[in-house]
Chain A
């Protein structure tokens, strides 16, 4: 059944038009210099102060109503192997050998780093993550499908999934958003006896970190982890030993992860617009060739080529 030119153009426009409408995509905004809310909070963990008492873990557990763990919080045996966050523990502390002095092992707390430009938020297809003005990155239980794309996207391997529940949730640190919006500190910050975690505006914390490093250059490595990594995070660290030795990934780069998919996403509207014309063109060429072949075969005088 041959379709005449008019019909083709109509159907192509219908297809292309609905394609363009059907995807409410937006062109990449191309934000080159992201500043975010200048008053957003952050936390600065000073690894030279942490003694591995796990009070932060206990406080987090209580503040979030998580089930009590099998091994109590004052049990040191958990340090024997490196742990990661789980659906029952939004934060964990790991122990590492100190490459500078054998006497004093280094402890390191892991939790969501609340990135400036969170990879998880960019990966979520239902927009279930929000970077709040307070700095915390929150997950919305009313939208999540459980696709676990955020878990793949997070460079720090933070979000955890309740594999054992028929109605599962994603679990991760939320920087105690309900406490910070009432002017209180996150539970782990308040619990720490050594004040290893400082809480305040991210900009102030960077100044504090620089001050500490400047005052005691022998005590600290001259680097604030999280100041620029993956575009900057709200949770930052200073340390007395090289960061690689305490479980940090130093190869993440400074590009915020959402940038990596921007190139592809900005090509999408191009395909939506060019393909209909290109393919429609192929169709017209091939129809025309067939028409000419037919005329040739039947010996009719054809149109001039």
Chain B
């Protein structure tokens, strides 16, 4: 064979191995036809044209964003909910590398990947929501508004995305089999982890601090000077719960991409995560009560808004806390897994309340759900899941790469 033909053959082999996982094109495409993929394709077929329309006609095409209520689901879900749910990275990395809990090592990479994908798509939602998304780099390079909490969020999300990418890069480099760069990438892990925790502390709380500027607009039961702390603490148990959920789903639906050794330890690890989450949940519950006490808003609990607040802190914080404790005590892994879903739902509930619902409580005419908005959100989440799956299928996330035993650390 000529040199050129050999090179072409090499490239073709590389693509076949890395992208199509060693299958022939036809075999690959046949494997793609699953119920989940078909539904996903339908969603994308509806959603992607909508997104294109949003750029042609303006934001009003897909949201009910009004002059009185500037934020919609794109920020309510994409940014305010997506970011705490992507807190998995800094939590697991600090648990393993800073606090020395080496037994959780098998969960670090998936957690970092969840974090990276989560933040990446939070930025995607931002690009959809911003009036002039091409100006996204402005607060980074062009004009600073350092008195703004949002400025802090912008910088930290950008930096944290880079840090998560760097933390995940060993997995990518193992996939690409680039030995020397990988060594360098591993060396910065501790520094990156510490940096990541600093950034996370600040921007998780900053997302809450944004609402400090709206004292009259956010309902007093949710508004408190402690919002930054509340957001940060809840992000911690959000991350822990998401790690449980992620491992549950992957170990169930993508068994062949998981290292067989991990199946033996995952139950213990899940119990351990449940234990940690229960501690954080009870702390958060007490902090919420302190928030109400601080403003002396006890009388507000006796109202329709008070009902939703009590539902949130009892039904979605205290109840999962008790379920976690019960699951840990009785070694009931299924209960712990189930409770993780409740806890995450509680996070979604809280963030949507703060960013959309309770922040328009004084408006006579408040709307926060538009059909097209929901479609776009579902579309982007579908892309997110597909991207995550694509990466887990190919890269050594839940398993070790045969050329790099030990996973690197």
Are A and B in contact, CB atoms below 8 Å, in the complex?
yes
Q: Knowing A145-B136, A275-B198, say if A260 contacts B213 (CB, 8 Å).
A: yes
Bound CA–CA A221/B148 (angstroms): 37
| B40 on interface, CB distance cutoff 8 Å | no
Which of B65, B146, B187 is A163 in contact with, Cβ under 8 Å? B65
| B279 on interface, CB distance cutoff 8 Å | no
| A165 and B58 contacting across the interface, CB-CB below 8 Å | yes
Could you say which interface size class chain A belongs to?
Answer: 35 or more
Bound CA–CA A23/B144 (angstroms): 10
| A25 on interface, CB distance cutoff 8 Å | yes
| B155 and A265 contacting across the interface, CB-CB below 8 Å | no
Minimum CB–CB distance from B181 to chain A (whole Å) comes to 15
List A residues 133-154 near B (Cβ within 8 Å): 143-149, 151-153
Which listed segment binds B: A67-75, A119-127, A173-181? A119-127
Bound CA–CA A24/B100 (angstroms): 33
List A residues 16-47 near B (Cβ within 8 Å): 16, 18-19, 22-26
| B408 and A1 contacting across the interface, CB-CB below 8 Å | yes
| A144 and B132 contacting across the interface, CB-CB below 8 Å | yes
| A12 and B191 contacting across the interface, CB-CB below 8 Å | yes
| A301 on interface, CB distance cutoff 8 Å | no
| B214 and A145 contacting across the interface, CB-CB below 8 Å | no
| A280 and B201 contacting across the interface, CB-CB below 8 Å | no
| A160 on interface, CB distance cutoff 8 Å | yes
| A11 and B150 contacting across the interface, CB-CB below 8 Å | no
| A105 on interface, CB distance cutoff 8 Å | no
| A161 and B70 contacting across the interface, CB-CB below 8 Å | yes
Which listed segment binds B: A52-60, A189-197, A199-207, A251-259? A251-259
| A79 on interface, CB distance cutoff 8 Å | no
Bound CA–CA A249/B408 (angstroms): 60
| B143 and A279 contacting across the interface, CB-CB below 8 Å | no
| A302 on interface, CB distance cutoff 8 Å | no
Q: Knowing A1-B408, A145-B130, A167-B132, say if A249 contacts B216 (CB, 8 Å).
A: yes
| A214 on interface, CB distance cutoff 8 Å | no
Please give, as numbers and ranges, the residues of chain A lying within 8 Å of B97 by CB-CB distance.
283
Please give, as numbers and ranges, the residues of chain B lying within 8 Å of A268 by CB-CB distance.
152, 202
Please give, as numbers and ranges, the residues of chain B lying within 8 Å of A151 by CB-CB distance.
67, 70
Bound CA–CA A122/B156 (angstroms): 18
| A11 and B191 contacting across the interface, CB-CB below 8 Å | yes
Minimum CB–CB distance from A288 to chain B (whole Å) comes to 9
Which listed segment binds A: B203-211, B262-270, B372-380, B390-398? B203-211
Bound CA–CA A145/B136 (angstroms): 7
| A279 and B148 contacting across the interface, CB-CB below 8 Å | no
Chain B residue with minimal CB distance to A18?
A: B195
Chain B residue with minimal CB distance to A171?
A: B67
| B209 and A261 contacting across the interface, CB-CB below 8 Å | yes
| A272 and B198 contacting across the interface, CB-CB below 8 Å | yes
Which of A143, A144, A160, A164 is B57 in contact with, Cβ under 8 Å? A164
Which of B65, B100, B148, B202 is A124 in contact with, Cβ under 8 Å? B148
Q: Which of A1, A143, A149, A161 has the most CB of B within 10 A?
A: A149
| A157 on interface, CB distance cutoff 8 Å | yes
Q: Which of B55, B71, B149, B215 has the most CB of A within 10 A?
A: B149
Please give, as numbers and ranges, the residues of chain A lying within 8 Å of B217 by CB-CB distance.
152
| B131 and A145 contacting across the interface, CB-CB below 8 Å | yes
Minimum CB–CB distance from B154 to chain A (whole Å) comes to 6
Q: Knowing A162-B58, A249-B216, say if A15 contacts B192 (CB, 8 Å).
A: yes
Which of A123, A165, A260, A286 is B148 in contact with, Cβ under 8 Å? A123
| A289 on interface, CB distance cutoff 8 Å | yes
Q: Knowing A145-B136, A268-B202, say if A119 contacts B142 (CB, 8 Å).
A: no
Minimum CB–CB distance from A259 to chain B (whole Å) comes to 10
| B67 and A86 contacting across the interface, CB-CB below 8 Å | yes
| B58 and A164 contacting across the interface, CB-CB below 8 Å | yes
| A148 and B209 contacting across the interface, CB-CB below 8 Å | no
| B216 and A153 contacting across the interface, CB-CB below 8 Å | no
Q: Knowing A12-B194, A125-B145, A265-B149, say if A155 contacts B216 (CB, 8 Å).
A: yes
| B149 and A143 contacting across the interface, CB-CB below 8 Å | no
Bound CA–CA A144/B139 (angstroms): 10
| B132 and A286 contacting across the interface, CB-CB below 8 Å | no
Please give, as numbers and ranges, the residues of chain B lying within 8 Å of A242 by CB-CB distance.
none
| A149 and B130 contacting across the interface, CB-CB below 8 Å | no
Bound CA–CA A122/B129 (angstroms): 21
| A128 on interface, CB distance cutoff 8 Å | yes
Q: Mark A77-99, 1 if CB is under 8 A from B, else 0.
A: 00000001111000000000000
Bound CA–CA A289/B71 (angstroms): 49
| A290 on interface, CB distance cutoff 8 Å | yes
| B60 and A163 contacting across the interface, CB-CB below 8 Å | yes
Please give, as numbers and ranges, the residues of chain B lying within 8 Å of A147 by CB-CB distance.
129-131, 150
Give the 3 A-B CB pairs with smallest separation, nearest first.
A146-B131, A286-B100, A11-B191
Contacts A160-B67, A282-B94 supplied; 8 other A-B pairs, CB < 8 Å: A15-B195, A125-B148, A128-B143, A147-B129, A147-B131, A152-B210, A152-B217, A265-B149
A-B contact pairs, 13 of them (CB 8 A): A3-B187, A11-B194, A12-B190, A19-B195, A22-B159, A127-B144, A143-B142, A151-B67, A163-B60, A163-B63, A264-B205, A276-B194, A290-B102
